[in-house]
Amino acid sequence: MRRILNAEWAGLLASIVVGAIVLAVVSPNFLSEFNFYVLLRSVCVSIIVAFAQMVTLAVGQMNLSVGALGGMTAILFGGMMEVFGVPLWLAVPIAITIGVLGGLVNGLLAARTGINGFIVTLATASAFTGVNLGLTKSVPFYKMPTALQDFGNGRIGALPFLLIAPLVVSPLLALFLFRLPIGRRLLAVGGNSQAAALSGISPGNAIVLAHCLSGFLAAIGAVLAVAQLGSAQPLIGSDWLLLSFAAPIIGGTALAGGYVSIIGAILAVLVIALIQNGLVLAKVDPYWVQFLLGALIVATISLNRWRARPIRLA
């Protein structure tokens, strides 16, 4: 109990509980099974997208192409099934491979050329979006396999099938980052790349690995988004960037690298979803959600700065 109270995400958990109680009191619809289903369904893609950014933040990099890579992967995934009739069981691993390759390009450019990862992924973001729009001319692929659509819409009570993805990915990612030596090396480079190098760790390799993992997760997000929408929309990913930074940072992940919180990122996504859900239930103009999200990020980061101890390094 004490550990939970001391955890960095304790505040987030509290705001979720309070927020849920308030919503339940104000709007009886909040507690309905269908509303819970809608709420949970909306967080599945977001959690994976948050992880995709979090792993690059972990190593001290950024991936501005997270949405562009997701969008490109989504239309290639949908396109290969509609145009070439690739079966679903094959299309999913191909899509994930595409994501990893996109991440590999980012990682190699960032680690080997010495160009700042921010610039690299800003450029590749444009390139990935270009491939997306060039291939689709902005026209979605609609004929998705029924199995995929059923997966995207199915539920058991309030629990959407889509929830399987974050339920599987989150513990595996935790295992990777906190238990596997390779994951520890990734975080060590993010924490102090010079010190990691002196401990025999290659910062370059860690950066490439982090970007590949980011691409891998972005591709999973893309597949989930296609399943959720029932079609491969060229616009998938275009609204991922803000959330991909907001959720990990609100959840306690260090912007400068070296520290991540998986639970924090998940709770942050839930908080954001609750706000959106609450505003819908309260019939607030959905466009104002954007404003509140921005305000929330600023507030949380200010709070973290204020809380952080000044650490003296010689």
Judged by the rule CB under 8 A, the positions of this chain that interact with other proteins are 175, 178-181, 184, 187-188, 191-192, 194-202, 254, 258-259, 309, 311-314
* Both tokens assigned to 163: 């929830």
Which residues does residue 232 pair with via DSSP β-bridges, in sequence order?
A: 141
Which one, of 144, 140, 120, 147, lies nearest residue 215 by Cα? 120
Q: How far is the CB of 255 from other proteins (least distance, A)?
A: 13
C-beta of 157 vs 181, nearer to other proteins: 181
Q: How far is the CB of 273 from other proteins (least distance, A)?
A: 28
Residue carrying the six token digits 């079966």 = 87
Which one, of 44, 12, 9, lies nearest residue 169 by Cα? 44
Q: How far is the CB of 199 from other proteins (least distance, A)?
A: 5
Q: How far is the CB of 45 from other proteins (least distance, A)?
A: 29
C-beta of 2 vs 309, nearer to other proteins: 309
Q: How far is the CB of 250 from other proteins (least distance, A)?
A: 18
C-beta of 2 vs 137, nearer to other proteins: 2
Could you give the maximum distance between any two Cα atoms of the chain, in Å?
Answer: 61
* Rounded-to-integer distance, Cα 199 and Cα 292, Å: 43
Whether 244 contacts 93, CB under 8 Å: no
Which one, of 151, 130, 148, 165, lies nearest residue 86 by Cα? 148
C-beta of 70 vs 190, nearer to other proteins: 190
Give the number of other CB atoms < 10 A from CB of residue 41: 20
* Rounded-to-integer distance, Cα 52 and Cα 60, Å: 13
Q: How far is the CB of 208 from other proteins (least distance, A)?
A: 16
C-beta of 110 vs 254, nearer to other proteins: 254
* Rounded-to-integer distance, Cα 221 and Cα 73, Å: 9
C-beta of 39 vs 169, nearer to other proteins: 169
* Rounded-to-integer distance, Cα 163 and Cα 40, Å: 7
